[in-house]
Amino acid sequence: MLTFIGQAIRNFHHVGSVWPSSPWLAKALVRPLGSSPGPHRILEVGAGTGAVTRSILGVMDATDTLDIVEINPVFCESLERLAEARRREIPGATIRVHACPIEEAPLEGPYDFVICGLPFNNFPPSLMRSIFRRMLSLLAENGTLTYFEYAGVRIMRSGVTGTETRRRLRRISAVGKLLRRRLSGRRQLILGNFPPAMAIRLKRNGTLPRKFIDRDSISIETMPAETPGRTADSLVSSGS
């Protein structure tokens, strides 16, 4: 807890909160994994000190693989301790910690589940698109991606920030809405979190966002994921 708060004070842009995710939010993000028969390949992005990681590890068995990506080296030390403890409990499981941005992580998909804890409201829309492009490129056919955002934060911040910040928050909101529309998105309000959060679930279902256009109105084109000669990376491209 103290490690999380200390890093949040030092680097709020990347941490995004002064309080780690609650067990209730973690449970909502991991629920699709717990209800699915294995073996599973799992990717966690932006794990922090492991609030959600603990829930993932709790439902893993010896046939599962977990890759954890976290940019903060201090957090990675905590995550490696969690991973090592679980490796001793289930020796057959593969658990790896990658101390780098998701865009640079040496990963090979597909993953059945991608679970993301990054603070997208703090990021430029172009970075949000880049991160989703990478995560979706690693997501398996019929795979599930879960992430969260704090409830009402964009509305509250838009009233006390400048024009450029309000414009950036509108773009981020537009990207999220279009992803939910294209990828069978579902939302669940988690009041037992500080602050309250919205857990969001996306289901690939054979289509991928192809193009983000970084303007006030953002459009996403889709095409079948199995189209011959096209990789998932090529299906999501920036028009800016």
| Interval 105-133: pLDDT, tens | 999 999 999 999 998 988 888 999 999 99
Q: What is the pLDDT of residue 123?
A: 87
**Structure confidence at residue 14 (pLDDT):** 44
List the domains of the chain with CATH numbers. 2-238 (3.40.50.150)
Question: Of the segments 2-11, 85-94, 222-231, which one has the largest average pLDDT value?
Answer: 85-94
CA distance 199 to 101: 22
Count of other CB atoms within 10 angstroms of residue 77: 14
Structure confidence at residue 195 (pLDDT) = 84
Q: 100 Cβ partners below 8 Å, 6+ apart?
A: 69, 71
Confidence of residue 35 (pLDDT cuts 50, 70, 90): confident
Total number of residues shown for the chain: 240
Tens digits of residue pLDDT in 154-184 = 555 555 566 888 888 888 888 899 899 989 8
SS3 44: strand
Look at residue 236 and tell me whether its pLDDT is greater than 70: no
Mean pLDDT of 210-237: 37
- Separation CA 96–CA 93 (nearest Å): 10
Average pLDDT on 56-67 reads 95
The more confident residue out of 147 and 159 is 147
76 φ/ψ angles, rounded to the nearest 5 degrees: -60, -30
Mean pLDDT for the chain?
79
Q: Is the pLDDT of residue 53 over 70?
A: yes
Closest-CA residue to 219 (of 157, 166, 150, 171): 171
179-200 pLDDT, tens digit per residue, is: 999 898 999 999 998 889 999 9
Q: What pLDDT is stored for residue 208 in this prediction? A: 62
What pLDDT shows up at residue 167? 86
